[in-house]
């Protein structure tokens, strides 16, 4: 499973990063979380508002910070 | 929790700055100026203006579906709509200044193209709602309104110019120009009517709580005498709306977003105020930079002063809202209103680091043309404003 966080480095993106790390920790699984900051790559996912969370190539949420339960649900799928 | 700690620190700093008897310290004048300016901001602007503004920004960030606005930036959208939305959506979309660049790139590459994209790029940072509110409050109503309208009108002009200069004639790559994907398709929790009502109430509270005196107009005086009663009634109405129309969870998220904005922006604003106070002094006093220099460089409304202000504004990086105390200091030190507007129009949208990122998205040539357009527009509007007001 590959988790990617799309963001240019602003506080919201860092927050999503923290929350995701926490979700992964609480689920007890080992997953690689990658941060993508290059704008052109972010656009390639079709995302216009950062931050965004991508799980295995699928964009789960963009433009807002989801709750930790939602993140866990997406990872668990 | 890290955030609670930050909040307590900021609260502590605020209380300190609010009450400390700075004017009695025996230290160099510029430092006193800097501290007194911070005190003035703490006493006069934070409680009644910034805090409501943070709540409004929090509401926008949480409850206005940004995706609904973005779909107007698609390739197939009617041009008139794209440009109009591009020029004003900054109020809704640029609440977090970091979203401007990715959004700009998205509109450019996958959506409506360079015209609406540059229109948004220019207006977004300029009509950030917090900035407009604070500009009107501190620098004066005129400057606030003109800044907002200037940003909107020029963003369309700049966007159209970029479009005509650069849009390639011929078939656009159809594959790229798909419509914007909607990721978080959520049902709206509240009707549009309710949304308008609670926003109107919040804005009403902001306006009435900050109403200034104007003894020349009778009706105004009457309203002014009752401003606190009106504000109180509006607050009660707002509380009723909050209880009836919002879930507990939503209110918590709203409060958290507002807090996030405050924690993010207040330190930057404090920094800006301290620096402005140190270098320029409060209006009427001297800072480290002699008034003479300011008067010479940007004192009059000449082409040179406006141009100078535009270029400096374009290059300098202004963290959110910091352009306001800096401009307040400059105006107090003798800067003319014209160059002040020029700085306000060129400042927020551009900065050296910003230009480099834009360049990586649209290339050097387009970036240079964009910068040139911004500087020209800012210079001329500055001259016009300085001449008329």
Q: Which residue of chain A has the CA closest to B263?
A: A11
Which residues lie across from A4 on neighbouring strands? Answer: A34, A54
β-strands A32-36, A52-55 pairing? unpaired
Q: Which of B98, B181, B264 sits opposite A8 (nearest CB)?
A: B98
Under the banding of pLDDT at 50, 70 and 90, the label for residue B175 is very low
Distance CA B247, CA A69 (A): 18
Q: Which of A11, A43, A46 sits opposite B264 (nearest CB)?
A: A11
SS3 B142: helix
Test the A interface: residue of B99, B101, B121 with most A CBs within 10 Å: B99
The answer to whether the peptide bond before residue A51 is cis (omega within 30 degrees of 0) is: yes
Under the banding of pLDDT at 50, 70 and 90, the label for residue B173 is very low
pLDDT of the residue at B322: 87
Lowest-pLDDT choice from A8-22, B130-144, B354-368, B375-389: A8-22
Total number of domains in chain A: 1
* DSSP codes of every residue in B107-141: HHHHSS-HHHHHHHHHHHHHT-HHHHHHHHHHH-H
SS3 B145: helix
Q: What is the ipTM of this complex?
A: 0.72
Residue showing tokens 């009723």: B240
Tokens of B282: 């409060």
Q: Summarize pLDDT for B48-86 with one digit per residue, the tens.
A: 888 888 888 888 877 877 777 777 777 677 888 888 888
Q: Is A70 in contact with A16 (CB distance < 8 Å)? A: no
Q: Summarize pLDDT for B283-339 with one digit per residue, the tens.
A: 777 788 888 888 888 888 889 999 999 999 898 888 878 889 999 988 888 888 899
A43/B184 Cβ within 8 A: no
Rounded to a whole number, what is the distance in Å from the CA of A21 to chain B's nearest CA?
A: 16
Domain region containing A29: 2-76
SS3 A53: strand
Q: Summarize pLDDT for A21-43 with one digit per residue, the tens.
A: 888 888 888 888 888 888 778 88
Which residues in chain B (95-114) have CB-CB distances under 8 A to chain A?
Answer: 96-99, 101-103, 105-107, 109-111
Q: Between these two residues, B61 and B6, which has the higher pLDDT value?
A: B6
pLDDT at B37 over 50: yes
Q: Is A36 in contact with A5 (CB distance < 8 Å)? A: yes
Residue B261: partners with Cβ closer than 8 Å, 6 or more residues away: B54, B57, B58, B61, B95, B130
Question: pTM for the whole thing?
Answer: 0.80
Distance CA B355, CA A3 (A): 31
Under the banding of pLDDT at 50, 70 and 90, the label for residue B378 is very high
Residue A62: which of B85, B192, B113, B186 has the closest Cα?
A: B186
- Cβ contacts of A50 on chain B, cutoff 8 Å: 98-99, 102
pLDDT of the residue at B216: 66
Q: Which of A12, A46, A61 sits opposite B110 (nearest CB)?
A: A46
B222 contact A CB<8A: no
Q: Summarize pLDDT for B99-154 with one digit per residue, the tens.
A: 788 788 878 877 778 888 899 899 888 888 888 888 888 888 888 889 888 889 98
DSSP alpha helix (H) spans, chain A: 11-27, 39-44, 68-76
Tokens of B105: 């790139």
Give the relative orientation of helices B291-298 and B303-315 as an angle to the nearest 10 degrees: 110
Q: Is B299 in contact with B245 (CB distance < 8 Å)? A: no
Query: Which of A8, A9, A10, A63 is flagged as catalytic?
Result: A10
- Cβ contacts of A60 on chain B, cutoff 8 Å: 183
- Cβ contacts of B93 on chain A, cutoff 8 Å: 49
pLDDT of the residue at B181: 57
Q: Summarize pLDDT for B179-228 with one digit per residue, the tens.
A: 555 555 555 567 778 888 888 888 888 888 877 666 666 777 778 888 88
Chain mean pLDDT for chain B: 83
Q: What is the CATH number of the domain that holds A18?
A: 3.40.30.10
Stretch B157-163: mean pLDDT, rounded? 91
Stretch B351-370: mean pLDDT, rounded? 89
Q: Is B277 in contact with B326 (CB distance < 8 Å)? A: no
- Cβ contacts of B96 on chain A, cutoff 8 Å: 10-12
Domain boundaries in chain B? 27-167+261-388, 192-246
Instruction: Give the single-character DSSP code of B7.
Output: H
Q: Which residue of chain A has the CA closest to B117?
A: A48
Rounded to a whole number, what is the distance in Å from the CA of B365 to chain A's nearest CA?
A: 18
Which residues lie across from A34 on neighbouring strands? Answer: A4
Under the banding of pLDDT at 50, 70 and 90, the label for residue B176 is very low
Give the relative orientation of helices B323-332 and B337-346 as an angle to the nearest 10 degrees: 160
Spatial strand order in the sheet of A2-6: A32-36, A2-6, A52-55, A58-62
Rounded to a whole number, what is the distance in Å from the CA of A15 to chain B's nearest CA?
A: 10
Under the banding of pLDDT at 50, 70 and 90, the label for residue B97 is low
CA B288 to chain CA centroid, Å, is 27
Distances (CA, A) of B161 to B7, B165, B360, B384: 45, 6, 20, 21
Does residue A10 have an active-site annotation? yes
Which residues lie across from A62 on neighbouring strands? Answer: A52
B361 contact A CB<8A: yes
Distance CA B138, CA B269 (A): 13
Rounded to a whole number, what is the distance in Å from the CA of B68 to chain A's nearest CA?
A: 12
Q: What is the largest CA-CA distance in chain B?
A: 71
Residue B74: which of B160, B176, B186 has the closest Cα?
A: B176
Residue showing tokens 């879930």: B247
Under the banding of pLDDT at 50, 70 and 90, the label for residue A64 is confident
Rounded to a whole number, what is the distance in Å from the CA of B298 to chain A's nearest CA?
A: 34
Under the banding of pLDDT at 50, 70 and 90, the label for residue B171 is very low
Does residue A25 have an active-site annotation? no
């Amino acid at each position: 499973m590959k988790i990617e966080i799309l963001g240019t480095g602003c506080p919201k993106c860092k927050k999503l990063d923290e929350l995701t790390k926490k979700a992964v920790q609480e689920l007890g699984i080992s997953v690689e979380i990658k941060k993508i900051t290059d704008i052109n790559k972010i656009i390639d996912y079709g995302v216009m508002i950062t931050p965004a969370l991508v799980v295995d190539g699928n964009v789960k949420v963009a433009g807002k910070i989801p709750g930790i339960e939602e993140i866990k649900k997406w990872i668990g799928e | 929790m890290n955030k609670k700690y930050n909040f307590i620190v900021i609260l502590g700093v605020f209380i300190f700055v609010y009450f400390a008897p700075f004017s009695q310290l025996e230290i160099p004048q510029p430092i006193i100026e800097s501290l007194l300016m911070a005190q003035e901001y703490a006493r006069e602007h934070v409680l009644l203006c910034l805090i409501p503004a943070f709540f409004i920004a929090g509401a926008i960030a949480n409850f206005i579906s940004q995706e609904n606005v973005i779909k107007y930036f698609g390739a197939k959208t009617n041009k008139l709509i794209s440009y109009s939305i591009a020029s004003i959506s900054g109020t809704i979309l640029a609440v977090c200044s970091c979203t401007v660049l990715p959004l700009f790139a998205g509109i450019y590459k996958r959506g409506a193209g360079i015209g609406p994209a540059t229109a948004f790029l220019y207006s977004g940072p300029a009509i950030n709602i917090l900035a407009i509110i604070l500009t009107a409050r501190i620098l004066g109503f005129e400057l606030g309104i003109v800044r907002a309208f200037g940003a909107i009108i020029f963003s369309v002009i700049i966007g159209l110019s970029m479009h005509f200069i650069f849009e390639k004639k011929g078939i656009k790559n159809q594959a790229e120009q798909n419509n914007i994907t909607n990721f978080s398709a959520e049902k709206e929790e509240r009707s549009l009517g309710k949304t308008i009502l609670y926003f109107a109430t919040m804005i009403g509270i902001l306006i009435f709580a900050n109403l200034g005196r104007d003894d020349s107009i009778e009706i105004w005086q009457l309203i002014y005498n009752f401003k606190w009663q009106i504000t109180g009634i509006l607050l009660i109405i707002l509380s009723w709306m909050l209880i009836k129309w919002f879930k507990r969870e939503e209110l918590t998220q709203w409060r958290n977003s507002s807090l996030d904005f405050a924690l993010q922006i207040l330190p930057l604003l404090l920094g800006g105020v301290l620096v402005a106070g140190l270098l320029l002094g409060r209006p009427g006093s001297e800072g480290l930079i002699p008034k003479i220099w300011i008067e010479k460089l940007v004192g009059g409304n000449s082409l040179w002063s406006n141009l100078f202000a535009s270029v400096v504004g374009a290059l300098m990086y202004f963290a959110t809202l910091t352009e306001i105390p800096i401009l307040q200091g400059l105006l107090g030190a003798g800067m003319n209103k014209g160059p002040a507007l020029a700085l306000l129009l060129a400042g927020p949208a551009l900065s050296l680091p910003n230009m480099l990122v834009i360049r990586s998205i649209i290339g050097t040539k387009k970036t240079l043309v964009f910068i040139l357009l911004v500087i020209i527009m800012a210079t001329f509007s500055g001259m016009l404003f300085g001449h008329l007001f």
